């Protein structure tokens, strides 16, 4: 069975992050077990979702890991001309939610595992399929925990997010934070006697923009990125009840997207420090004034040395594509950072199609990915 046919089945499972992925995992598990793979599922607490980890070939050696996520982003509010959860093939493309991000690679990995069963692998092939990647690389963490305790963890990892099969060695990390600004209510005619929570929030927004400006001017740089420095961004502000009431509460959400070598914690500390100063200025008017900041998610950046064996392997498999760094985040930073597994990102299709209506991957990209994974199997037969 071809990668395109597997992909079409995968698109048919509507695995939007908040939904169960168990039907898709069941399909993958059956296919992998038929290929003689050892398959392990790691469920989430309500047992409505699972990660899958499979090994084809020897079980007492490190091997190479192909990693992908099974969840997709929602389609609500998007103008699709085809059914998002029913694959459509036309003009050399397969359309459907997840075609590019990233069921195309998952399909190719499953096909490779099926092919691997007909070969005599000296080095094992591992497949990792995760849930809840699209909501902040949340699901894969339980799998990382299992791998951390495994006697043989993979020696190298390829995360197949869409890069048009370029070898990607880096992406930024991310930290999300929620902030609650606390002031006190008053009639707006007496505003100077109260603490306006929206004003606390806007002062904090100014401080965040100031930190961002300093990062752009004088922070660490990596010119391999389109935006070569760590960025801060406020995405949501909510506050106020009526024009004639001084608001007592204002909420804001901001994020940090940091270069891998430029820790997000540093920036969170700076924001906290500025919040402290703003609160200090407000407390003489109202001692209960406060700015509460909580980190609510994030993932580490990826920074794989260009001379690492996994990069050479990637070039050997994918061809002499240029090495790149990408703006979006992936699970690669976790495999690399938490487990110390040298990791690259390399997969079929383009993120330009990701998260959009009429998402697609070309058959040409799927064919090239198949060829790349066939070369990987050749290498695994020889023991890399």
Q: Provide the binding-site residues for Zn ion, judged by CB under 5 A.
A: 101-102, 161
Helix (H, G, I), strand (E, B) or coil at 344: strand
The dihedrals phi and psi of 237, each to the nearest 5 degrees, come to: -130, 130
Beta bridge partners of 43: 50
Query: Minimum CB separation from Zn ion for residue 146, in Å?
Result: 21
Contact 203, 222 (CB under 8 A): no
Query: Minimum CB separation from Zn ion for residue 161, in Å?
Result: 5
Catalytic annotation present for 203: no
How far apart, in Å, are the Cα atoms of 22 and each of 11, 33, 71? Answer: 14, 16, 11
Helices then strands (H, E): number in the chain?
9, 16
The token pair at 47 is: 């047992």
Query: Minimum CB separation from Zn ion for residue 135, in Å?
Result: 11
- Closest to Zn ion by CB, 161 vs 274, is 161
Helix (H, G, I), strand (E, B) or coil at 121: coil
Comparing every residue's Cβ against Zn ion, the nearest one is 101
Query: Minimum CB separation from Zn ion for residue 111, in Å?
Result: 19
- Closest to Zn ion by CB, 97 vs 199, is 97
Rg (C-alpha) for the chain, rounded Å, is 24
Query: Minimum CB separation from Zn ion for residue 326, in Å?
Result: 11
Angle ∠(139,303,311) on CA atoms, nearest 5: 100
- Closest to Zn ion by CB, 129 vs 377, is 129
Please state, in angstroms and rounded to a whole number, the distance separating the CA atoms of residues 56 and 47.
Answer: 25
- Which residue from 12, 99, 73, 9 is spatially nearest to 363, judged by alpha carbons? 99
Catalytic annotation present for 274: no
Among 86, 120, 132, 133, the active-site one is: 133
- Closest to Zn ion by CB, 102 vs 260, is 102
Give the residue numbers marked as catalytic.
71, 133
């Amino acid at each position: 069975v071809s990668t395109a046919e597997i992909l079409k089945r995968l698109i048919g499972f509507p695995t939007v992050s908040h939904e169960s992925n168990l039907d898709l995992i069941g399909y993958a598990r059956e296919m992998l077990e038929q290929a003689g793979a050892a398959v392990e599922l790691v469920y989430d607490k309500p047992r409505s979702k699972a990660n899958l980890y499979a090994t084809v070939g020897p079980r007492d050696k490190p091997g190479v890991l192909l990693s992908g996520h099974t969840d997709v982003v929602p389609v609500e509010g998007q103008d699709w001309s085809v059914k998002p959860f029913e694959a459509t093939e036309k003009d050399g493309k397969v359309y459907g939610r997840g075609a590019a991000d990233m069921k195309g690679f998952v399909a190719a990995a499953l096909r490779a595992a099926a092919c691997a069963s007909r070969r005599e692998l000296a080095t094992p092939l591992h497949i990792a399929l995760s849930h809840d990647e699209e909501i902040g690389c949340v699901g894969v963490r339980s799998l990382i925990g299992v791998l951390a305790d495994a006697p043989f963890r993979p020696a190298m990892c390829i995360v197949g997010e869409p890069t048009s099969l370029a070898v990607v060695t880096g992406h930024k990390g991310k930290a999300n934070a929620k902030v609650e600004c606390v002031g006190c209510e008053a009639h707006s005619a007496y505003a100077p006697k109260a603490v306006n929570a929206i004003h606390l929030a806007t002062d904090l927004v100014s401080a965040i923009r100031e930190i961002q400006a300093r990062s752009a001017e004088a922070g660490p740089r990596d010119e391999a990125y389109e935006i070569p420095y760590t960025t801060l961004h406020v995405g949501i502000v909510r506050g106020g009840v009526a024009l004639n009431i001084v608001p007592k509460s204002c909420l804001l959400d901001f994020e940090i997207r940091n270069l891998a070598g430029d820790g997000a914690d540093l920036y969170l500390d700076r924001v906290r420090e500025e919040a402290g100063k703003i609160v200090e200025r407000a407390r003489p008017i109202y001692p209960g004034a406060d700015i509460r900041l909580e980190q609510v998610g994030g993932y580490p950046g990826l920074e794989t040395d260009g001379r690492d064996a996994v990069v050479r392997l990637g070039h050997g498999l994918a061809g002499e594509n240029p090495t790149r760094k990408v703006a979006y985040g992936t699970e690669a930073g976790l495999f690399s950072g938490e487990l110390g597994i040298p990791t690259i990102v390399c997969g079929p299709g383009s993120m330009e199609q990701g998260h959009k209506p009429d998402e697609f991957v070309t058959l040409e990209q799927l064919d090239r990915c198949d060829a790349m994974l066939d070369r990987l199997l050749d290498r695994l037969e020889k023991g890399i």
